[in-house]
Amino acid sequence: MRALAITERDLRRFSRNPIVIIASILMPLVYLIIMGNSFQGELKHLPVAVIDQDGGPYARRVIELLQAMRDGPQTITIEKMTDQKAAIDAVKNGFYKGALIIPPRFSEDVVKDVNPQIGLFLDNTDSISAAGVSNSVSRAMNYLKSEYVSVRSTLAKTQFRAVELYKKIDYDASLVPGIIVMAIFMGTTFTGAFSIVMDKFLGIHESYLSTPLTRMDIVIGTIISGVFITTIMSFLVMMGGMFITGIKLAGGLTSFILLVFTIVLTALGLLSMIFMVLGRADHPRIVGVTIGFLNVIFYFPSGAVYPIESLPGWLRAFAAVNPEAYAVHALKSLILKGTGFAAVRGDLLFLACFTALMLFLATLTFKRTM
Amino acid sequence: MAYAAEAHNIVKKYPSVIAVNDVSFNVDEGEIFGLLGPNGAGKTTLNRILTCLVKPTSGQASIRGIDVVKRPAQVRRNIGVVSQAMTSDLDLTAWENLDIYGKYFDIPRKQRHENMKYLLETVGLTARAKDLVATYSGGMRRRLEIARGLIHKPYILFLDEPTTGLDPQSRRVIWELLQKIRQETKLTIFITTHYMDEADVLCDRIAIVDYGKIVVLDSPSNLKRSIGGFDIIEMTLGNFSPEADAKLKAMPIVKNITEKDEAIRVYVEDAAKSMPVIIEELRKMNVSIDYLAIHEQSLEDVFIHYTGKTIRETEAQKVNFFSGAGAPKQMPGARV
């Protein structure tokens, strides 16, 4: 089969340039380590300035509660200041994430129960830190309330107990399916259509365009080599990711077979899509720009980093036709939950239809002449 | 019986240029046919039309009677192509390059390997067959590409400027190789070149192409004969006045005088006999001779005769700093 000669050519080429493959395996793993550790940690040691203008017992109690926050969950660190303006300026200049002002007569207001208030100035340009400081202060205030409001006067709270269906999955472990999809996408950036573009750039393509190879031979042969390399890369990334995060495949043989099938199908679909987009490009720079663009479009609304449910409506609509979203869903189900065919049937059906359409369009749009 | 290759009224238009303008010719079986012309003359476009890489805007071309537009798949099985750019794969060995290329033509393994061994021997690369092409010189790559173009035993081999960028020694090796292949296989060869000597040495017939048109087509010897078949005395003269020019032209032994750069070229039937007479005449007119050389007419002279300029002048004219290379939209009145 002539197409396989193209596949053989590409595989031989890559076997002599393993650096690209190694770099493409390392990149998703580095992403996993950096991303996994960047977002999963709790906020710690947020610096807060405290100005006690009251000096009364309840002001001291507030400070004690804040100190408890500092010593317990360590969300905040507190530093006492006396000058309100200097404290607010320090927040503006980034030395503190917030400034807590306990006004004069605060303790008296608490005793008289006339709406005691504490001022909190927040650097809301860093919304996550601001929310962290705000939560800590609110919790301290709640403790204060419960101390002088009778327990009996509060309504009985409904108790609930959460039952987790699966073993605890840390955030970094939840990224593993995403980085597999990333590895597949990385594979498509230097195999498949990229081989054709480089051939055009180097003028090599003229040699095989003057042979009996058909459009279909060239497209299929190039994509097969891409799928082969990308699949191996993806499995290496998966194993590396599982090793780093300490997770194991949740399912048995059926899950594993479905996992292989999902990866191959995703690789085939994405390679076909990239071929359709870049099959006519003739300069590697075009590939670089386009791939960077497509990566952002497809990766972030895929659920790989953050749940699709958190996306705005228009982006959720895009996610509904995003092949990476289906791949991430299927891989999460198979790797983290160890589910069977029923859980990924819809994903595989979508990916199969997407692949067939893209392969058809890639072959149709590829130009056989110069 | 069909010609090895035929082109009838081929036109190829691009948005800003007419690359090929109503070109017709036939290539006989077993001959080496050359397209000679400067860069941008339309040679490569014609070559690509015949090898099914570019579709003509109008006109008809065929290989062995098979239409290149209607039945390209069949044409591709009958042709071998050696492109202008080096197209062998640097990351593969010579053996792998040939093997994979042979697979593109569905050649069975045993036959493919036999062909490969023979061709590697023919092009003198047997000892380096297992080396990566990245380690080859330009001349070696070109020899490999010629071998690759012959892997499926094509009916006609197309070579697009096969020695461009090679050193003189490598060029000569390629010429000898092509002559050897032609002698052994009686292969039809279609070659484009802008080297006069290459066309002269290799080709049975030459079509001179300029601005997308064939200016003249014949054998090298007939072409030279067509412009007189004279010897040329080339001289750089001092005090050479229009009167002296007129007197020289009036001499019966002088067949023609042209100017080239600072020199004049005097066309005579027999330079050995004519030269003393001309020198004496110039001496009488007090014209000094600063430089003198005698040479036989070459294809360069043929090119100058038919296009009115040297091939270098033509190329310089076509490469404009602002608009880049390419023929003008309006064709100048070329003589056919």
* Per-residue pLDDT at B22: 94
CA dist., res. A185 & res. A293, Å (int): 12
Residue B201 touches partner A, C-beta closer than 8 Å: no
In CATH terms, A46-153 corresponds, of 3.40.50.11540, 3.90.1150.10, 3.40.1710.10, 2.70.150.10, to 3.40.1710.10
* Per-residue pLDDT at B311: 62
* Per-residue pLDDT at A58: 85
* Per-residue pLDDT at A43: 76
Segment A286-294 mean pLDDT: 90
- A16: which chain B residues are within 8 Å (Cβ-Cβ)? 91, 132
- Nearest-CA neighbor of B330 among B17, B43, B44, B57? B17
Give CATH 3.40.1710.10 domain extents, chain A. Answer: 46-153
* Per-residue pLDDT at B330: 37
Chain A nearest C-alpha distance from B250 (Å): 55
Whether residues B89 and B170 share a domain: the answer is yes
Name the residue of chain B whose CA is nearest to A205's CA: B87
| Closest partner CB to A210 (pick from B79, B86, B132) | B79
Tell me whether residue B321 is in a domain: no
Segment B31-52 mean pLDDT: 92
Q: How many beta-carbon pairs below 8 A join chains A and B?
A: 74
- B71: which chain A residues are within 8 Å (Cβ-Cβ)? none
* Per-residue pLDDT at B316: 56
Q: How confident is the model at residue A3 (pLDDT cuts 50, 70, 90)?
A: very high
Whether residues B282 and B185 share a domain: the answer is no
Please report, rounded to a whole number, the percentage of residues in chain B having pLDDT higher than 70. Answer: 91
Provide the residue range defining the domain that includes B99: 5-224
- B145: which chain A residues are within 8 Å (Cβ-Cβ)? 207
CA distances (Å), A245 to each of A43, A175, A197, in order? Answer: 21, 9, 37
pLDDT tens track for A54-102: 988 888 888 888 888 788 778 888 999 999 889 988 888 888 988 999 9
User: Under DSSP, is residue A77 helix (H, G, I), strand (E, B) or coil?
Assistant: strand
Q: Which of B186, B205, B224 delimits the end of a domain?
A: B224
Q: How confident is the model at residue A368 (pLDDT cuts 50, 70, 90)?
A: confident
Mean pLDDT, chain A, rounded, equals 86
- B85: which chain A residues are within 8 Å (Cβ-Cβ)? 202-204, 206
Name the residue of chain A whose CA is nearest to B159's CA: A207
* Per-residue pLDDT at A135: 86
* DSSP E strand boundaries for chain A: 46-52, 76-81, 98-102, 119-122
pLDDT tens track for B152-175: 999 999 999 999 888 888 899 999
Give the residue with greater pLDDT, B145 vs B227.
B145
* Per-residue pLDDT at B41: 87
Tell me whether residue B287 is in a domain: yes
Give the residue with greater pLDDT, B335 vs A110.
A110
Tell me whether residue B263 is in a domain: yes
Whether residues B83 and B123 share a domain: the answer is yes
* Per-residue pLDDT at A149: 43
Whether residues B148 and B271 share a domain: the answer is no
Give the residue with greater pLDDT, A105 vs A322.
A322
What is the total count of domains within chain B? Answer: 2
- A218: which chain B residues are within 8 Å (Cβ-Cβ)? none
Whether residues B239 and B110 share a domain: the answer is no
Whether residues B147 and B110 share a domain: the answer is yes
Please list the alpha-helical segments (H only) found in A160-281: 171-174, 176-190, 193-202, 205-209, 215-245, 253-278
Q: Which of B204, B224, B244 delimits the end of a domain?
A: B224
* Per-residue pLDDT at A249: 87
pLDDT tens track for B121-130: 999 999 999 9
pLDDT tens track for A197-208: 999 998 888 889
* Per-residue pLDDT at A150: 40
Tell me whether residue B105 is in a domain: yes
Segment B130-135 mean pLDDT: 96
User: Under DSSP, is residue A100 helix (H, G, I), strand (E, B) or coil?
Assistant: strand
Give the residue with greater pLDDT, A256 vs A114.
A256
- Nearest-CA neighbor of B230 among B307, B294, B308? B294
| Closest partner CB to B96 (pick from A12, A203, A369) | A12
Segment A184-208 mean pLDDT: 90
Segment A104-109 mean pLDDT: 87
Task: Give the CATH number of the domain where residue B181 resides.
Answer: 3.40.50.300
pLDDT tens track for B255-275: 888 887 788 888 888 888 889
Tell me whether residue B43 is in a domain: yes
Task: Give the CATH number of the domain where residue B251 resides.
Answer: 3.30.70.260
Whether residues B254 and B138 share a domain: the answer is no
pLDDT tens track for B181-210: 998 888 999 999 988 889 999 999 999 999
| Closest partner CB to B105 (pick from A8, A9, A211) | A211
Q: How confident is the model at residue B23 (pLDDT cuts 50, 70, 90)?
A: very high
Name the residue of chain B whose CA is nearest to A215's CA: B73
* Per-residue pLDDT at A146: 63
Q: Which of B224, B249, B281 delimits the end of a domain?
A: B224
Residue B47 touches partner A, C-beta closer than 8 Å: no
Segment B113-140 mean pLDDT: 94
Segment A262-288 mean pLDDT: 93
Mean pLDDT, chain B, rounded, equals 87
Q: Are A110 and A98 in contact (CB under 8 A)?
A: no
Segment A234-261 mean pLDDT: 91
Tell me whether residue B325 is in a domain: no
Chain A nearest C-alpha distance from B210 (Å): 23
Residue A215 touches partner B, C-beta closer than 8 Å: no
Whether residues B240 and B216 share a domain: the answer is no
Please report, rounded to a whole number, the percentage of residues in chain A having pLDDT higher than 90. Answer: 41
* Per-residue pLDDT at B229: 64
Interface test with B, best of A11, A190, A200, A207 (most B CBs within 10 A): A207
* Per-residue pLDDT at B69: 95
Tell me whether residue B265 is in a domain: yes
| Closest partner CB to B53 (pick from A9, A210, A212) | A210
- A211: which chain B residues are within 8 Å (Cβ-Cβ)? 76, 101, 104-105
Q: How confident is the model at residue A330 (pLDDT cuts 50, 70, 90)?
A: very high
Residue A16 touches partner B, C-beta closer than 8 Å: yes
pLDDT at A39 over 80: no
Whether residues B60 and B153 share a domain: the answer is yes
Q: How confident is the model at residue A348 (pLDDT cuts 50, 70, 90)?
A: very high
Chain A nearest C-alpha distance from B62 (Å): 15
Tokens matching residue B193: 């070149």
* Per-residue pLDDT at A326: 96
Whether residues B238 and B205 share a domain: the answer is no
Give the residue with greater pLDDT, A151 vs B100.
B100
pLDDT tens track for B205-252: 999 999 899 999 999 888 887 877 678 888 999 888 888 889 888 998
Least confident of A36-50, A213-227, A315-329, B245-259: A36-50
